[in-house]
Structure 1
Amino acid sequence: MDTIYDVLIIGGGPAGLYASFYAGLRDLSVALFEAQAELGGKLNFYPEKMVWDVGALPPTKGKKVNDSLQEQANLFEPTIHTNTTIKTWEEQDGLFVLRDQDGTCYYGKTLLIAIGGGVISPQQLSCSVDATITSHIHYEFPNQQAIFGKKMVVSGGGDAAVDYAIEAQSYGAKVTLCYRGENLKAHESQVKKLAALGIDVYTNQTIVGIAKGEETTMVLQLQSKDGEPTTAFSCDHLLVQHGYDRDTSLLEQESITLDRYSDFYLHCLFPTKTSAEGIFAAGDIHYFDGKVNLLAGAFQDAALAVNQIKQYIDPKSPAYGMVSSHNKKFHERNQELMM
């Protein structure tokens, strides 16, 4: 018979990863599903930016936070599936049944939804691109060492594009920003900072083609809105920030209806408990009065959801797990760390 897990976690971002760890701490078997190739959720969008808002954690790059979360999530050996998009869910004979894009089914006693803002993917360039230079076209902030002293173009006019242009220059890149619109949409203070730093900005310009250059990595073909002939602009790296597409079809299920807030978030009258028995939520995907939309808040959500799941499965179990400093599960590991 197929394995029946105590909890099926949909979403491999910070909330889902921490829930995986905490569920293991509470002796719950876990299967976690992530639609993207990499775990980490939004942390993958700012790997080189500093995370400041996690208690007791010094300013740490997003990539390092992600790596540490994944290591922690795997501590109790959960089953983790990446590149796995859950298409449908339903309830059968007291179990939740998930079906992925290949038709494979997974079975669990409870369901924890931790999909953040939905399955998010960056909007791709629509122009032709020479295949030999794709490694220098980025949709997330590149390694700071790779761009030091290099010519870098940031394409986009929103907050992320302007912030990244400023950050790239601080890492020693020679930055130019191009935007298809007439005026940048980023916060006014950041636009002023961009100008004060002397970063060149080309507005009303769209990238219509990218070719391999002779001396530089690539040559961008830019065209203005008025249809003037294209102009060539050479650079070593291109960072594309054209926004993100969000797939929320998973929540549009007919078999199980969940109460929503603002036509999107799962509305929980009590934190992490959705309107359906046995289905819980953690992280940005759910709303309740007093919800804290911070990374630290996602960890709190995850622990609370797992404690509720434990009691849902076994009503006689303690309301929460033993704290890590006294938990026997860590005794041997603590001894190893102290040697």
Structure 2
Amino acid sequence: MTTIADVLIIGGGPTGLYASFYAGLRDLSVVLFEAQAELGGKINFYPEKMVWDVGALPPTKGKKVKEHLIEQAKLFDPTIYLKTKIIELTKEDNLFYAVDDQGRTHVGRTILVCIGGGVVSPQKLPCFIHNNVDNYIHYQFPDQQAIQGKHLVISGGGDAAVDYAIEAVSYGAKVTLCYRGEKLKAHEAQVKKMKAEGIQVLMNHTIDGVNQAETFNMVLRLKNSANHETIDFLCDHLLIQHGYDRDSGLLDKVSFDLARHEDFYLNCEIPTKTSHPGVFAAGDIHYFKGKVNLLAGAFQDAAQAVNQIKHYLEPTSVPQAMVSSHNEKFSERNRQLLVNE
């Protein structure tokens, strides 16, 4: 027998995670889909950086914010699918059918789109990579303890690459920046700061291969883009910052009309309420006049969307959930927390 969820949440970033929590608070059954292997969305791109823009939360590393969001999202036992990309959405008899990339069909009474800027994946190295060095190649900033006292090569010339180079030095790493062009694309002030740190920069060089090494974790074959000569370069860790590929094809594969803003974002006359009944959006993927594109704003979007969904499914329901400080759903948990203080 097919289970029909109250809401199918597409996207497991901060917005989708908070929506999962708030939907449970409003007694809605949830199925959440995340295309990547782990929850967290864009927070996974800056695990070691501090997050400052969440009210009442002290500066906290991205990985810790993600950890708390996931714990909160699972509070009311949603069904969560990882490595599951929704590729098609259809509607029949007021029910929505979401087809995933594994051929499964999921049924829901509503859809909540929380895909941010689309399914974002880091661009990978196109060259040969020896299997034994996989653990030393990173596409997001590595754990600071892993690189302390080690030689880290960062491939890239944009803002993220230069920022990470400066940050890695502060964690005690020896850093070399490798870039294919003649001039770095990062902000001039950060480039100046990087040079002041004494960070080695190899311009006009691309990584042409990665092999195992004896004294270090790996040896990079670097190719000079000007004269095509190659050199071998030893290092312990490699951080790739070549940008990201964005897959936003889902919104082009729906069987019903959805108003768009700038040919991509879902246009909402009323915040989080799309042009099609039963389809809602939250976070960066949706647009309305005056929208705040902050992490803190994503939580407001999520709660607003869930309240809209609750009213859509149950028109006589109260406009919003009772505040957490008085909500009976937390009574037993609050008692346990007070006992453990």
Q: Structure 2-normalised TM-score? A: 0.98
Tell me the equivalent position of 1:162.
162
1:106-160 deviation digits (Å, cap 9, x = unpaired): 1111000000110010000011011101100000000000000000000000111
Tell me the equivalent position of 2:199.
199
1:67 maps to amino acid: E
Number of aligned positions between the proteins: 339
Tell me, yes or no, if the aligned pair for 2:207 and 2:221 is still in contact at 8 Å. Answer: yes
1:168-187 deviation digits (Å, cap 9, x = unpaired): 01100000100001110011
Tell me the equivalent position of 2:40.
40
1:60-103 deviation digits (Å, cap 9, x = unpaired): 11110001000000000011111111010000111000000121
1:128 maps to amino acid: F
Tell me the equivalent position of 1:240.
240
Tell me the equivalent position of 1:84.
84
What CA distance in whole angstroms lies between the structure 1 residues aligned with 2:134 and 2:315?
A: 54
Deviation at 1:188, TM superposition (A): 1.1
Tell me the equivalent position of 2:178.
178
1:250-275 deviation digits (Å, cap 9, x = unpaired): 01025122111112111111110111
Tell me the equivalent position of 2:188.
188
Tell me the equivalent position of 2:18.
18
Tell me the equivalent position of 1:293.
293
Tell me, yes or no, if the aligned pair for 2:32 and 2:78 is still in contact at 8 Å. Answer: yes
Structure 1: gaps (5+ residues): none
Q: Structure 1-normalised TM-score? A: 0.99
What CA distance in whole angstroms lies between the structure 2 residues aligned with 1:286 and 1:166?
A: 34
Tell me the equivalent position of 1:74.
74
Deviation beyond 3 Å, 4+ runs, structure 1: none
1:31-61 deviation digits (Å, cap 9, x = unpaired): 0000011000001111111111100000111
SS of residue matched to 2:19: helix
Deviation at 1:18, TM superposition (A): 0.1
Tell me, yes or no, if the aligned pair for 2:209 and 2:221 is still in contact at 8 Å. Answer: yes
Tell me the equivalent position of 1:96.
96
1:210-241 deviation digits (Å, cap 9, x = unpaired): 11111011111111112432011111000000
Between stretches 263-272 and 64-73, larger displacement belongs to 263-272
Tell me, yes or no, if the aligned pair for 2:88 and 2:254 is still in contact at 8 Å. Answer: no
Sequence identity (%):
66
Matches within 5 A, 1:127-166: 127-166=127-166
CA RMSD of aligned residues (A): 0.7
SS of residue matched to 1:106: strand
